A and B are shown apart, each in its own frame.
Chain A
Amino acid sequence: MRRLLFLLPVALFAVIAGYFTLGLRGDPSLLPSALIDKPAPDFALPGLGGKPGLARADLAGRVALVNFFASWCAPCRTEHPLLMRLAEEGKVALYGIDYKDKPEDAARLLAQLGDPYRRIGVDREGRTAIDFGVYGVPETYVVDAAGRIRYRQVGPISAADWERKLLPLLQKLGAS
């Protein structure tokens, strides 16, 4: 009994070291969304430069990707080519929400790099972003046909992210 007591410290340390080992894997900055499997928040945003805006109703009926971006956001540029490719393939409905941005800057960016979005909503105050639980851009949400959020991609979508996470999920949801 007394001997067991003396084993306690090393046993506790073994548990802690195990967690540290797990902790070394994975990025602590990636957070699960609080809205997984919950209905996407309601929103209705104006469009960019006179074009039609984006509202929750626009997402209804099919699987959609909602991508939060901004012209001042450097990492957004790294995922832009991938978004353009998706738009060309046309298999998935890609919507954009321009986060806390000057509309003219966003328009210039899209004119420069191409516009991959079916529709764009301008979220100047960042309120819709807060409703989605966004804490930085880019973030991308998968919204299923029933209007529920199924996945959140934090940070730019890399080719690996697309192949391993997003594409299988979209196929499962029947988007493509």
Chain B
Amino acid sequence: MIVELGHYALVLALFMALLQASLPLVGAARGHPAWMALADSTALVQFGLVALAFAALIHAYVTSDFSVLNVVQNSHSTKPLLYKVTGVWGNHEGSMVLWVFILTLYGAAVALFGGALPPPLRARVLAVQGMIGAGFLLFILATSNPFIRVVPPPPDGDGLNPLLQDPGLAFHPPFLYLGYVGFSMAFSFAVAALIEGRVDAAWARWVRPWTLAAWCALTIGIAMGSWWSYYVLGWGGWWAWDPVENASFMPWLAGTALLHSAIVVEKRGALKSWTILLAILAFSLSLIGTFLVRSGVLTSVHAFAVDPARGAFILLLLAVAIGGSLTLYAIRAPALKLGGLFAPISREGALVLNNLILATGAATVFLGTLYPLFLEKMTGAAVSVGPPFFKATFVPLMVPMLVLLVFGPLLAWKRGDLLGALGRLKLAFAVSAAAALAAWHFTTGGPIGAVLGIALAAWLAVGTAVEWAERVKLFRAPLGESWRRLRHLPRAAWGMSIAHFGLAVLVAGIAASAWQTERIETVRPGDTVDVAGYAFRFEGTEPVQGPNYSAQRATFTVTREGRTVAVMHPSRRFYPVQRMPITDAAIRTNGFADLYAVITDPGEGGAWVARLYYNPLVPWIWFGAVIMAAGGLVSLSDRRLRVGAPARRGAAVKAPGAAPA
């Protein structure tokens, strides 16, 4: 009954979405306030209906209702409750419902908190949201219905892939989708602006919070995925340049570029048509990512089940959404007024350079991910594009951007003083040179790229700190004055400094991962393996019974200079339902380095093959990502982005160069 209710709610939501996509548009074009206001109510009702459907699906999973095919295929009665719930989005059908749920959540948020938006803009934004919602609801109902019954119901389900039964992965998809789908807001605002033919500072200010929120969520989502791959897959790495990872990385790059270019629109009224294009691209790349993961066009290590019918449907959605919006762009964007002028060396110039490099980065990842497909269809030749390619192309591209990143905030708008900025960065330069020397000295050599990476991280961190110190006139003015300035520093400025500092931490973590120490040994109880000065003593294994698995749990006592620093328990689990063994890594971190242990193959006489790692600074990769997202959140709390932000007219007057068309 509840299942049918969920199914029915989805159908109703589709009709709501169709209403939302059509009537408000007409209303906005003809100036009917009542029709425009329909956008709000339909968005809220649509959200309620999808929430109902989502709840019904969760209910079916929690109660292990094996009369539902989707539950049978992805759940099992012995599964812990947490994974019964998260199993809802651990499969194609359920994850699409989550996708639409988040989409309607954003729509409802606009309806509830978009009071400051002019009614025609709000109506158009919500109408575009409605179109996206309608497309995906139709997709779910036509090809991926999670509410299909199975008769007769089997006694129990197939269970969830053990690799997905993990708290890290439980919350990875929701964050990822909050990011992917969040860019639909920027997309809708861009399309609405194209329909209106008007992009100004106020528009940029309205788009910003949605883009920031999506960017923060995507940053966390990608970081969680990478963290999961680090500690669950037990391969000692954290990023594989797999198509699925790339699919999440491309919208992130475009979204990061969008965040920066929108600042120029807001402050200087320039880069309008480029910003609109980025807003379209960020969401388009999210959609393309969805297509790649679910269509089977590319082979990936962690893809959803492949179904060409679904692929064709998503491709159709892509053609309508991306093709439609880009066509609209081609027609309307040339009419957008050019904004304020600026010298090449200026804040705007730096942001443009940032955008150029980020866009090239996204293009590199895109080309690398899809080139095998292109070439195969062109000439029939099969090539692989793997991590060595991306390391050789993407990484060198990011180095100049990170070097230049520090200059941007130090340059004035319109015309900046490069020599002055250079002079103020003496300290940063000195510290990064010292960091490079220290890294070179203490690591007894090591790859030169890693040493440079550490220098780059120091340059970023100190350069960001210098800019912050200048804003508060630290040591230049009396401390009281600095304190006053500190308290009045806009949240957006804080957000930028924090996010850039987080990037420095991230870069340090990535660079230092080159100094990973790896030992792969066959160990017998009593054996000791030395890993970067840590002695791992293998004590043996014992059988352990988990809720839905059995495991061999190993014990390693780790000592350093005779002192015990950790007792670690990597294990090898066996999930009888899926008849699948997985390794469970043991990780001990002190914030500066990880000790990492995995046992893989049993041998004779209690022997096991163990993979032991010492990973210096690797946790900083995730700390850095979290700090970056925190910076985004701080920026999001800036006064000028809050609900009831200044209305268009007032803002247009205040922002120089903003040209209402």
Contact = CB atoms under 8 A, between A and B. Distances in A.
A and B co-occur in one complex: yes
Interface of A: 2-3, 6-7, 9-10, 13-14, 16-17, 19-24, 28-29, 31-32
Contacts of B327: 10
Contact of B377 (A6, A14, A22): A22
Contact of A23 (B277, B326, B373): B373
Given A17-B323, A28-B373, A9 B382 contact: no
Given A3-B334, A6-B334, A32-B380, A23 B297 contact: yes
- Which residue of A3, A6, A17, A19 has the most chain B CB atoms within 10 A of its CB atom? A6
A24 B330 contact: no
A139 B649 CA distance: 71
A17 B291 CA distance: 11
B322 A24 contact: no
Interface stretch (B164-172, B311-319, B420-428, B438-446): B311-319
Given A19-B370, A32-B381, 11 more contacts: A3-B330, A6-B333, A6-B334, A7-B330, A10-B326, A13-B326, A20-B318, A21-B315, A23-B297, A24-B308, A24-B315
A6 B376 contact: no
A157 to B, nearest CB: 21
A22 B308 CA distance: 11
B517 interface: no
Nearest to B309: A24
A16 B373 CA distance: 10
A9 B326 contact: yes
A28 B374 CA distance: 11
Interface in B316-354: 318-319, 322-323, 326-327, 329-330, 333-334
B382 A17 contact: no
B46 interface: no
Contacts of A31: 382
Interface residues of B, number: 34
A6 B308 CA distance: 33
13 contacts: A6-B273, A6-B330, A10-B327, A17-B318, A20-B297, A20-B318, A21-B315, A23-B295, A23-B297, A24-B312, A28-B299, A31-B382, A32-B382
B308 A10 contact: no
A135 to B, nearest CB: 12
Interface of B: 273, 277, 280-281, 284, 291, 295-299, 308, 311-312, 315, 318-319, 322-323, 326-327, 329-330, 333-334, 370, 372-374, 376-377, 380-382
Contacts of B376: 28
Nearest to B310: A24
Contacts of B377: 19, 22-23
Contacts of A3: 330, 334
A20 B323 CA distance: 13
Contact of A19 (B281, B334, B373, B380): B373
A9 B329 contact: yes
Contact of A24 (B277, B311, B333, B381): B311
Contacts of A28: 296-299, 372-373, 376
Contacts of A29: 299
Nearest to A25: B308
B578 to A, nearest CB: 17
Name the 6 nearest CB pairs between A and B, nearest first.
Answer: A10-B326, A23-B297, A22-B377, A7-B330, A6-B330, A9-B326
B319 A17 contact: yes
Contacts of B334: 2-3, 6
A20 B319 CA distance: 10
Nearest to B299: A28
Given A20-B318, A21-B315, A23-B373, A9 B295 contact: no
Nearest to A33: B382
A29 B384 CA distance: 12
Contact of B315 (A9, A17, A32): A17
A21 B373 CA distance: 11
Nearest to A14: B323
Contact of B323 (A7, A13, A23, A24): A13
Contacts of B296: 28
A19 B298 CA distance: 12
B326 A24 contact: no
Contacts of A7: 330
Contacts of A13: 284, 322-323, 326
Nearest to B378: A19
- Which residue of B296, B319, B330 has the most chain A CB atoms within 10 A of its CB atom? B330
Contacts of A10: 323, 326-327, 329-330
Contacts of B298: 23, 28
A14 B330 CA distance: 13
A28 B375 CA distance: 12
Contacts of B329: 6, 9-10
A9 B318 contact: no
- Which residue of B308, B374, B376 has the most chain A CB atoms within 10 A of its CB atom? B376
A12 to B, nearest CB: 9
A158 B381 CA distance: 24
A24 B380 contact: no
Nearest to B298: A28
Nearest to B380: A32
B114 to A, nearest CB: 28
Contact of B330 (A9, A20, A22, A23): A9
A6 B299 CA distance: 33
